[in-house]
A and B are shown apart, each in its own frame.
Chain A
Amino acid sequence: MNLAPTCPSGTPAHGESVNRLGLWVFLATEVLFFGGLFLAYAVYRAAHAAAFSAASARLDFPIGTVNTGVLLTSSLAVALADLAARGRRVRSARAWLVVAGLLGAVFLTLKGFEYHAKFAEHLVPGPGFAFAGPPPAELFFSLYFAMTGLHAVHLLAGLGALAWLWVRLGRHPTGDHTGAVELTGLYWHFVDCVWVFLYPLLYLIPPAP
């Protein structure tokens, strides 16, 4: 939604600083939101190290790695959109937004393939779960789906925000959009950052000695 602030002094600079603070506070809540899951992960990985490494070996390492690259690149695109918006180059800003959005979509598509494979291999927790190995592996997959699923939902929201921004820039090509682009970008980088933690924690567990 559009968080139009009321603004006693009425200056746009004040309005922007209000929105920026609002977004940072929001990101703080997000950190704690994911924090709960990271805590669960840490506890269980410490308790069931071997099971976690056995289960992690079943993740699709190539897809995870490619996806990491894809997301990082999309962050670059968003940063370039921000730069363009600051320079009032609305056309190029919109173009970079499209690039970022497409990369986001690629990420989700690859993730979709990965999920599908897990379904096919009976690695989705629940009654159908079948994994030849220690039972706590199911915990790993539970965490895997909870963490990446939640991340995907956030990415989806980010795609929505990019689309909204793209439309907004198209409607008012002469307006000042620095604030909106900057804040959307911040959110996008945050989601990206979460993945930067998820990737090593989930995909890069060394095999048990």
Chain B
Amino acid sequence: MIASPVLLAWATGLESASSISPRVDALFRGLLVAGSGMAALLLVANLTLLIRYRAGSRAQRGPVNLPVNLIEAGWIAATTVVFVAFFAWGASVYLDMERPPAGGVRIEIVARQWMWDVRHANGRRELDTLHVPAGETVRLELSSEDVIHSLFVPAFRVKQDVVPGKVVTTWFEATRPGRYRLYCSQYCGTKHAGMTGEVVVLPPAEYAAWLGRGDASGEIAARGRAALVRNGCTGCHSPGGTVRAPVLEGLHGRRIPLADGSFVLVDTAYLRDSILEPNRQVAAGFDPVMPSFKGIIPEGELLDIIAYLRVANEGTKP
């Protein structure tokens, strides 16, 4: 309509800083063009008819034999085709958004009322700020300690709800170094509007330097270790424990036998499951006596423990 030039201008008004955002913008612009074109058509048609057939005008009236059924079928078919085309376009971009490319940087983020708790692979931690390298796939593993939050970075056209009780992943590839706004877009209580932050995109070398400057694995290992003691894990999982339980250090990355005769690769997911639902997969040679820690162990500590177990090996003193 009249406003459509404004619309087009606005569609380009937002920074576009990820690999996917130009594609989303193109799609949005396509919708704008089709939509405002359609609206303009309807506006013109209506205005013409309204003026021409105003009461008392000289226009020709009286019945005409229009092929009503044909007309109806025509515009039903035409709209359906246009609509399905846009569905397909949207779906194809969406599928690429949902399929992360292999490799890249992995970062864990714990959302809680009302902050973003970011943990980098080497243990460096930050709050409400997310440092990422430009030009690399960044894979976020999101979890929540309380209610549903949603990570939203407009400049990347990325949004993902963070649902308590599970780990949700999303990804992006930032294309331009700079600082971008980060919001919580799912209502999560009093300070929902304050749960904002910043994404800092650095050139890869600078990112590496930034990461290296931080307190590395030492700190996170210590935290995970402490959490292990605090939650009573070591009561069983240590040589002098009350119950015979497997040694946890060094478990990660190994294939181990299960009580039902199958084997399993110990990865993050398996560690998480073993802690939250221990009786689902029981290690061979042990009694299934480990209690579930679901709802008991805070999400942040769980991540610390898992992070610790990922780096710890049998040499690490219990």
Contact = CB atoms under 8 A, between A and B. Distances in A.
A134 B295 contact: no
A175 interface: no
Interface in B219-243: none
Interface string B282-318: 0000000000101100000000000000000000000
A134 B277 CA distance: 8
Interface residues of A, number: 2
Contacts of B277: 134
A135 B279 contact: no
Contacts of A135: 292, 294-295
A137 to B, nearest CB: 11
Contacts of A134: 277, 279, 292
Interface residues of B, number: 5
Interface in B253-279: 277, 279
Interface in A128-163: 134-135
Contacts of B292: 134-135
B258 to A, nearest CB: 16
A122 to B, nearest CB: 17
A44 to B, nearest CB: 13
A17 B67 CA distance: 41
A134 B292 CA distance: 8
A134 B294 CA distance: 10
Contacts of B279: 134
A134 B288 CA distance: 12
A71 B133 CA distance: 68
A138 to B, nearest CB: 10
A126 to B, nearest CB: 14
A65 B81 CA distance: 56
A135 B294 CA distance: 8
A135 B279 CA distance: 11
A81 B277 CA distance: 54
A134 B295 CA distance: 12
B279 to A, nearest CB: 7
A6 to B, nearest CB: 38
Nearest to A134: B279
Contacts of B295: 135
A135 B276 CA distance: 10
A3 to B, nearest CB: 40
Nearest to B296: A135
A57 to B, nearest CB: 16
A134 B279 CA distance: 8
A15 to B, nearest CB: 40
B25 to A, nearest CB: 37
B278 to A, nearest CB: 10
A73 B280 CA distance: 43
Nearest to B276: A135
A88 B295 CA distance: 63
B215 to A, nearest CB: 36
B162 to A, nearest CB: 20
B106 to A, nearest CB: 27
A134 B280 CA distance: 9
A182 to B, nearest CB: 44
A107 to B, nearest CB: 36
A171 B295 CA distance: 60
A130 to B, nearest CB: 13
A135 B278 CA distance: 11
A139 to B, nearest CB: 12
A43 B279 CA distance: 21
A95 B172 CA distance: 74
A53 to B, nearest CB: 14
Interface in A110-139: 134-135
A39 to B, nearest CB: 19
Nearest to A48: B277
A51 to B, nearest CB: 10
Contacts of B294: 135
B290 to A, nearest CB: 12
A135 B295 CA distance: 10
Interface of A: 134-135
6 contacts: A134-B277, A134-B279, A134-B292, A135-B292, A135-B294, A135-B295
Q: Which 5 A-B pairs have the closest CB atoms?
A: A135-B294, A135-B292, A134-B279, A134-B292, A134-B277
